[in-house]
A and B are shown apart, each in its own frame.
Chain A
Amino acid sequence: MTPMRAMVIDDSRAMRMILKRIVTKLNFEAVEAGDGKEALDLLADMTEVPALALIDWNMPNMNGLEFVMKVRAEPRLREMTLVMVTTESEQSQIVRALAAGAHEYVIKPFTEGAMIEKLALLGLVPTGANS
Protein backbone atom coordinates (compact mmCIF):
# COMPACT_ATOMS: atom_id res chain seq x y z
CA MET A 1 0.00 0.00 0.00
CA THR A 2 1.39 3.41 -0.95
CA PRO A 3 1.94 5.44 2.20
CA MET A 4 0.01 8.67 2.64
CA ARG A 5 2.10 11.75 3.23
CA ALA A 6 2.06 13.72 6.48
CA MET A 7 3.69 17.08 7.08
CA VAL A 8 5.13 17.74 10.53
CA ILE A 9 5.55 21.48 11.15
CA ASP A 10 7.31 22.43 14.37
CA ASP A 11 10.34 24.57 15.17
CA SER A 12 11.43 21.98 17.73
CA ARG A 13 13.46 19.24 16.09
CA ALA A 14 12.76 17.04 19.11
CA MET A 15 9.01 17.38 18.69
CA ARG A 16 9.28 16.79 14.93
CA MET A 17 11.13 13.56 15.69
CA ILE A 18 8.41 12.40 18.08
CA LEU A 19 5.60 13.20 15.65
CA LYS A 20 7.49 11.71 12.72
CA ARG A 21 7.99 8.50 14.69
CA ILE A 22 4.26 8.25 15.42
CA VAL A 23 3.02 8.92 11.88
CA THR A 24 5.66 6.67 10.32
CA LYS A 25 4.41 3.88 12.54
CA LEU A 26 0.96 4.56 11.07
CA ASN A 27 2.30 4.10 7.52
CA PHE A 28 2.61 7.79 6.67
CA GLU A 29 5.59 9.16 4.81
CA ALA A 30 6.67 12.17 6.89
CA VAL A 31 7.90 15.50 5.56
CA GLU A 32 9.32 17.99 8.07
CA ALA A 33 9.19 21.78 8.17
CA GLY A 34 10.59 24.11 10.82
CA ASP A 35 7.92 26.80 10.50
CA GLY A 36 4.83 27.75 8.52
CA LYS A 37 6.74 29.53 5.80
CA GLU A 38 9.02 26.59 5.15
CA ALA A 39 5.95 24.34 5.05
CA LEU A 40 4.24 26.56 2.47
CA ASP A 41 7.40 26.61 0.35
CA LEU A 42 7.56 22.81 0.46
CA LEU A 43 3.87 22.51 -0.40
CA ALA A 44 4.31 24.81 -3.40
CA ASP A 45 6.80 22.34 -4.85
CA MET A 46 4.71 19.22 -4.21
CA THR A 47 2.54 17.71 -6.90
CA GLU A 48 0.75 15.52 -4.37
CA VAL A 49 -0.66 17.37 -1.36
CA PRO A 50 -0.12 15.63 2.03
CA ALA A 51 -3.19 14.09 3.59
CA LEU A 52 -2.27 15.44 7.00
CA ALA A 53 -0.42 18.35 8.57
CA LEU A 54 0.50 18.39 12.26
CA ILE A 55 1.11 22.04 13.14
CA ASP A 56 2.72 23.73 16.12
CA TRP A 57 1.40 27.18 17.04
CA ASN A 58 4.43 29.12 18.32
CA MET A 59 7.03 29.16 15.57
CA PRO A 60 9.34 31.81 14.12
CA ASN A 61 8.76 33.34 10.65
CA MET A 62 5.18 32.10 10.29
CA ASN A 63 3.21 30.68 13.20
CA GLY A 64 0.75 27.82 13.03
CA LEU A 65 -2.39 29.91 13.01
CA GLU A 66 -1.12 32.00 10.08
CA PHE A 67 -0.22 28.78 8.28
CA VAL A 68 -3.72 27.37 8.76
CA MET A 69 -5.26 30.56 7.37
CA LYS A 70 -2.95 30.49 4.34
CA VAL A 71 -3.76 26.86 3.64
CA ARG A 72 -7.48 27.46 3.94
CA ALA A 73 -7.23 30.27 1.41
CA GLU A 74 -5.62 27.94 -1.14
CA PRO A 75 -8.11 25.68 -2.99
CA ARG A 76 -5.33 23.26 -4.03
CA LEU A 77 -4.71 22.43 -0.36
CA ARG A 78 -8.36 21.95 0.59
CA GLU A 79 -8.09 18.20 1.13
CA MET A 80 -5.28 18.43 3.67
CA THR A 81 -6.39 17.63 7.23
CA LEU A 82 -4.99 20.20 9.65
CA VAL A 83 -4.24 19.27 13.26
CA MET A 84 -2.84 21.83 15.67
CA VAL A 85 -0.34 20.22 18.07
CA THR A 86 0.54 22.85 20.60
CA THR A 87 0.90 24.00 24.19
CA GLU A 88 -1.63 26.78 23.48
CA SER A 89 -4.35 25.23 25.57
CA GLU A 90 -6.60 28.15 26.43
CA GLN A 91 -10.16 27.65 25.21
CA SER A 92 -10.01 30.95 23.31
CA GLN A 93 -6.96 29.80 21.37
CA ILE A 94 -8.57 26.47 20.50
CA VAL A 95 -11.64 28.29 19.22
CA ARG A 96 -9.44 30.62 17.15
CA ALA A 97 -7.61 27.73 15.54
CA LEU A 98 -10.78 25.81 14.74
CA ALA A 99 -12.46 28.95 13.41
CA ALA A 100 -9.46 29.53 11.14
CA GLY A 101 -9.91 26.08 9.65
CA ALA A 102 -8.01 23.56 11.75
CA HIS A 103 -9.81 20.21 11.95
CA GLU A 104 -8.51 19.07 15.31
CA TYR A 105 -6.47 20.18 18.26
CA VAL A 106 -3.97 18.20 20.35
CA ILE A 107 -2.43 19.75 23.45
CA LYS A 108 1.18 19.05 24.44
CA PRO A 109 2.09 16.98 26.35
CA PHE A 110 0.27 14.18 24.53
CA THR A 111 0.80 10.46 24.63
CA GLU A 112 1.33 8.44 21.47
CA GLY A 113 -1.98 6.70 22.13
CA ALA A 114 -3.87 9.97 22.39
CA MET A 115 -2.43 11.18 19.10
CA ILE A 116 -3.33 7.94 17.31
CA GLU A 117 -6.87 8.09 18.69
CA LYS A 118 -7.23 11.64 17.41
CA LEU A 119 -6.07 10.60 13.92
CA ALA A 120 -8.48 7.65 14.04
CA LEU A 121 -11.31 10.04 14.88
CA LEU A 122 -10.38 12.02 11.77
CA GLY A 123 -10.54 8.85 9.71
CA LEU A 124 -6.86 8.99 8.81
CA VAL A 125 -5.95 5.72 10.46
CA PRO A 126 -8.11 2.69 11.22
CA THR A 127 -9.93 2.67 14.54
CA GLY A 128 -8.01 0.40 16.86
CA ALA A 129 -4.63 1.28 15.34
CA ASN A 130 -3.58 2.09 18.86
CA SER A 131 -4.09 -1.42 20.18
Chain B
Amino acid sequence: MSVEVEVDENDLAEMVEQVWEAYLDPEGVSPLMQTYDENQPSEVHSSVSITGSWSGHVVYASSRAAAKRAAAAFLAMELEEVSEEDISDTLGELANIVGGNVKAMLPAGAQLSLPQVVLAPESSARYPNTERISGVYGLWEGEPVSISMWQSSTDTKEEGA
Protein backbone atom coordinates (compact mmCIF):
# COMPACT_ATOMS: atom_id res chain seq x y z
CA MET B 1 0.00 0.00 0.00
CA SER B 2 1.40 3.38 -0.95
CA VAL B 3 1.94 5.82 1.90
CA GLU B 4 -0.41 8.73 1.65
CA VAL B 5 1.46 12.03 1.58
CA GLU B 6 -0.12 14.82 3.54
CA VAL B 7 2.34 17.60 2.72
CA ASP B 8 0.98 19.83 -0.01
CA GLU B 9 2.12 23.08 -1.59
CA ASN B 10 0.38 25.15 1.07
CA ASP B 11 2.25 23.31 3.82
CA LEU B 12 5.55 23.87 2.02
CA ALA B 13 4.72 27.51 1.45
CA GLU B 14 4.00 27.96 5.16
CA MET B 15 7.37 26.44 6.06
CA VAL B 16 9.10 28.62 3.52
CA GLU B 17 7.47 31.67 5.06
CA GLN B 18 8.75 30.66 8.49
CA VAL B 19 12.29 30.19 7.17
CA TRP B 20 12.18 33.59 5.50
CA GLU B 21 10.85 35.24 8.66
CA ALA B 22 13.46 33.59 10.87
CA TYR B 23 16.58 33.85 8.73
CA LEU B 24 16.32 35.30 5.25
CA ASP B 25 13.92 38.20 5.64
CA PRO B 26 13.40 38.99 9.33
CA GLU B 27 12.25 42.53 8.47
CA GLY B 28 9.55 41.14 6.20
CA VAL B 29 10.55 43.30 3.24
CA SER B 30 11.55 40.71 0.60
CA PRO B 31 9.38 37.60 0.68
CA LEU B 32 9.57 34.80 -1.87
CA MET B 33 7.14 35.74 -4.64
CA GLN B 34 5.58 32.57 -6.01
CA THR B 35 5.77 32.00 -9.77
CA TYR B 36 4.27 28.48 -9.80
CA ASP B 37 6.80 27.72 -12.55
CA GLU B 38 8.24 24.30 -11.73
CA ASN B 39 10.65 24.57 -14.64
CA GLN B 40 12.44 27.68 -13.43
CA PRO B 41 16.23 27.32 -13.62
CA SER B 42 18.63 26.72 -10.74
CA GLU B 43 22.40 26.95 -10.40
CA VAL B 44 22.91 25.32 -6.99
CA HIS B 45 20.89 22.96 -4.81
CA SER B 46 20.84 21.00 -1.59
CA SER B 47 18.76 18.06 -0.48
CA VAL B 48 17.89 15.79 2.40
CA SER B 49 16.57 12.28 2.06
CA ILE B 50 13.72 10.87 4.09
CA THR B 51 13.39 7.13 4.59
CA GLY B 52 11.07 4.88 6.57
CA SER B 53 7.33 5.43 6.55
CA TRP B 54 7.83 7.67 3.50
CA SER B 55 10.76 7.65 1.09
CA GLY B 56 11.94 10.54 -0.99
CA HIS B 57 13.86 13.79 -1.04
CA VAL B 58 13.34 17.44 -0.20
CA VAL B 59 15.30 19.71 -2.52
CA TYR B 60 16.14 23.40 -2.07
CA ALA B 61 17.36 24.98 -5.32
CA SER B 62 18.21 28.52 -6.36
CA SER B 63 20.39 30.71 -8.51
CA ARG B 64 23.92 31.31 -7.24
CA ALA B 65 23.04 34.95 -6.55
CA ALA B 66 20.08 33.91 -4.38
CA ALA B 67 22.27 31.38 -2.57
CA LYS B 68 24.86 34.07 -1.86
CA ARG B 69 22.17 36.42 -0.62
CA ALA B 70 20.75 33.66 1.59
CA ALA B 71 24.19 33.02 3.10
CA ALA B 72 24.69 36.74 3.76
CA ALA B 73 21.30 36.97 5.48
CA PHE B 74 21.73 33.72 7.38
CA LEU B 75 25.20 34.54 8.64
CA ALA B 76 24.70 38.30 9.06
CA MET B 77 27.49 39.11 6.59
CA GLU B 78 27.94 41.56 3.78
CA LEU B 79 27.47 40.02 0.32
CA GLU B 80 31.12 40.54 -0.58
CA GLU B 81 32.23 38.67 2.56
CA VAL B 82 30.36 35.47 1.65
CA SER B 83 32.61 32.53 0.76
CA GLU B 84 31.87 29.33 -1.16
CA GLU B 85 31.87 27.48 2.17
CA ASP B 86 29.29 29.92 3.58
CA ILE B 87 27.03 29.26 0.58
CA SER B 88 27.43 25.52 0.95
CA ASP B 89 26.74 25.57 4.70
CA THR B 90 23.69 27.74 4.29
CA LEU B 91 22.20 25.66 1.49
CA GLY B 92 22.70 22.53 3.57
CA GLU B 93 21.03 24.02 6.61
CA LEU B 94 18.09 25.32 4.57
CA ALA B 95 17.47 21.82 3.20
CA ASN B 96 17.82 20.41 6.69
CA ILE B 97 15.32 22.84 8.20
CA VAL B 98 12.69 22.39 5.49
CA GLY B 99 13.26 18.63 5.36
CA GLY B 100 12.99 18.28 9.12
CA ASN B 101 9.71 20.12 9.15
CA VAL B 102 8.42 18.04 6.23
CA LYS B 103 9.35 14.88 8.11
CA ALA B 104 7.29 16.03 11.08
CA MET B 105 4.22 16.13 8.83
CA LEU B 106 4.71 12.60 7.51
CA PRO B 107 3.52 9.39 9.17
CA ALA B 108 5.57 8.40 12.23
CA GLY B 109 8.67 6.33 11.63
CA ALA B 110 10.52 8.46 9.11
CA GLN B 111 14.22 9.28 9.35
CA LEU B 112 16.03 12.30 7.98
CA SER B 113 19.48 12.11 6.38
CA LEU B 114 22.22 14.67 6.79
CA PRO B 115 22.02 17.28 4.01
CA GLN B 116 23.86 17.08 0.71
CA VAL B 117 24.91 20.21 -1.15
CA VAL B 118 25.73 20.36 -4.86
CA LEU B 119 26.97 23.61 -6.33
CA ALA B 120 25.40 22.72 -9.67
CA PRO B 121 21.85 22.98 -11.05
CA GLU B 122 19.09 20.84 -9.64
CA SER B 123 18.66 19.43 -13.14
CA SER B 124 22.17 17.91 -12.93
CA ALA B 125 21.07 15.63 -10.09
CA ARG B 126 19.18 12.38 -10.54
CA TYR B 127 16.81 10.97 -7.97
CA PRO B 128 16.18 7.50 -9.42
CA ASN B 129 12.63 6.19 -9.39
CA THR B 130 11.18 9.35 -7.95
CA GLU B 131 8.38 11.64 -8.89
CA ARG B 132 8.07 15.32 -8.02
CA ILE B 133 4.90 15.51 -5.95
CA SER B 134 4.90 19.03 -4.57
CA GLY B 135 6.86 22.26 -4.72
CA VAL B 136 7.03 25.98 -4.08
CA TYR B 137 8.59 27.95 -6.92
CA GLY B 138 9.30 31.62 -6.70
CA LEU B 139 11.48 34.64 -7.12
CA TRP B 140 13.38 36.19 -4.25
CA GLU B 141 14.48 39.70 -5.15
CA GLY B 142 14.23 38.62 -8.78
CA GLU B 143 16.26 35.41 -8.37
CA PRO B 144 14.76 31.91 -8.69
CA VAL B 145 14.33 29.80 -5.55
CA SER B 146 12.41 26.54 -5.22
CA ILE B 147 11.63 23.93 -2.61
CA SER B 148 10.34 20.61 -3.92
CA MET B 149 9.42 17.15 -2.68
CA TRP B 150 10.29 14.02 -4.64
CA GLN B 151 8.65 10.76 -3.63
CA SER B 152 10.29 7.44 -4.32
CA SER B 153 8.12 5.31 -6.57
CA THR B 154 9.37 2.21 -4.75
CA ASP B 155 7.65 3.54 -1.67
CA THR B 156 4.96 0.91 -1.96
CA LYS B 157 5.45 -1.31 1.01
CA GLU B 158 3.17 -4.24 1.53
CA GLU B 159 1.40 -4.11 4.83
CA GLY B 160 3.23 -6.26 7.35
CA ALA B 161 6.29 -6.58 5.10
Q: What does DSSP make chain A's interface, helix, strand, loop or mixed? A: loop
Contacts of B85 in A (CB 8 A): 13
Which residue of the partner chain B has the closest CB to A58? Answer: B112
Q: What does DSSP make chain B's interface, helix, strand, loop or mixed? A: helix
Which residue of the partner chain A has the closest CB to B71? Answer: A14
Q: State whether A58 touches B96 (Cβ < 8 A).
A: yes
Q: State whether B100 touches A18 (Cβ < 8 A).
A: no
A65 CB to closest chain B CB, in angstroms? 13
Which residue of the partner chain A has the closest CB to B18? Answer: A109
Q: State whether B97 touches A108 (Cβ < 8 A).
A: yes
A83 CB to closest chain B CB, in angstroms? 16
A-B contact count (CB 8 A): 64
Q: How many Å lie between the Cα of A13 and that of B89 in the bound state?
A: 6
Q: State whether B103 touches A87 (Cβ < 8 A).
A: yes
Contacts of A103 in B (CB 8 A): none
Q: Given A86-B100, A88-B100, check contact A111 B92 (CB 8 Å).
A: no
Contacts of B104 in A (CB 8 A): 87-90
Q: Given A14-B86, A17-B75, A21-B76, check contact A111 B100 (CB 8 Å).
A: no
Contacts of B86 in A (CB 8 A): 14
Q: State whether B108 touches A92 (Cβ < 8 A).
A: yes
Query: Which of A13, A17, A111 is the one whose CB lies under 8 Å from B26?
Result: A111
Report B19-54 CB contacts with A as 1/0, cut-off 8 Å: 101110010000000000000000000000000000
Q: How many residues does chain A have at the interface if contact means C-beta atoms less than 8 Å apart?
A: 21
The reply to whether the CB of B101 lies closer than 8 angstroms to some CB of chain A is yes
The reply to whether the CB of A126 lies closer than 8 angstroms to some CB of chain B is no
A6-41 interface with B by 8 A CB criterion: 11-15, 17-18, 21
Q: Given A17-B75, A60-B114, A110-B22, check contact A12 B108 (CB 8 Å).
A: no
Report A82-109 CB contacts with B as 1/0, cut-off 8 Å: 0000111110100000000000000011
Which residue of the partner chain A has the closest CB to B74? Answer: A14
Query: What 7 pairs across the A-B complex have the smallest Cβ distances?
Result: A87-B100, A109-B22, A14-B89, A89-B104, A12-B93, A14-B93, A13-B89
> Interface on B for A, CB 8 Å cutoff?
18-19, 21-23, 26, 71, 74-76, 85-86, 89-90, 92-93, 96-97, 99-101, 103-104, 108, 112, 114
Can you list 7 A-B contacts (CB < 8 A)? Answer: A13-B85, A14-B74, A15-B93, A58-B114, A87-B96, A87-B101, A112-B26
> Interface on A for B, CB 8 Å cutoff?
11-15, 17-18, 21, 58, 60, 86-90, 92, 108-112
